Amino acid sequence: MRSDIVKLGNSRAPHRSLLRATGVKDEDFNKPFIAICCSHCDIVPGHVHLDKVAAFVKQCVREAGGVPFVFHTIAVDDGIAMGHAGMKYSLPSRDLIADCVETMIEAHCFDGMICIPNCDKIVPGMLLAAVRCNIPTIFVSGGRG
């Protein structure tokens, strides 16, 4: 597994201690580490419910034998950003999301990723990251709240 580089061997004892501080147990070190990338935030109406979706996905990953880790991306609401300087941040947010997701995946050597996006900049941002990282990835539509 890709994640073995951060969890196996004597030289990785410090890594394991940090992982244990997040709730990882001894038996988890032989399981795949799965990133759950979620775009939940409180200011975008289409994203306010995604924390519940992520919690369900986290439970499903655990039940399927993986070790889930949730992290969040930014989200720009075009409707709120319109008509002022904030709109200049909408399209660039796609590439920022891609960069941030890639950073999380590569820095922590995840074995797979589940993306929970909504909106037209977040989906392609997460897709770009998935292609760059080349790990097994599943997209779960955030749907409506």
CATH top-level class of 31-139: alpha beta
User: What pTM value is reported for the model?
Assistant: 0.95
The string of pLDDT tens digits covering residues 78-111 is: 999 999 999 999 999 999 999 999 999 999 999 9
Q: Please tell me the distance from the alpha carbon of residue 82 to that of residue 65, in angstroms, as a whole number.
A: 44
Can you tell me the distance from the alpha carbon of 50 to that of 53, in angstroms, rounded to the nearest whole number? 5
Q: What is the pLDDT of residue 142?
A: 81
Q: Helix 90-108 to helix 122-133 angle, to the nearest 10 degrees?
A: 30
Summarised one tens digit per residue, pLDDT across range 22-75 is: 999 999 999 999 999 999 999 999 999 999 999 999 999 999 999 999 999 999
CA separation, residue 119 to residues 15, 32, 90 (Å):
35, 29, 11
Please state the domain extents for the chain.
Answer: 31-139
| Residue 145 reports pLDDT greater than 90 | no
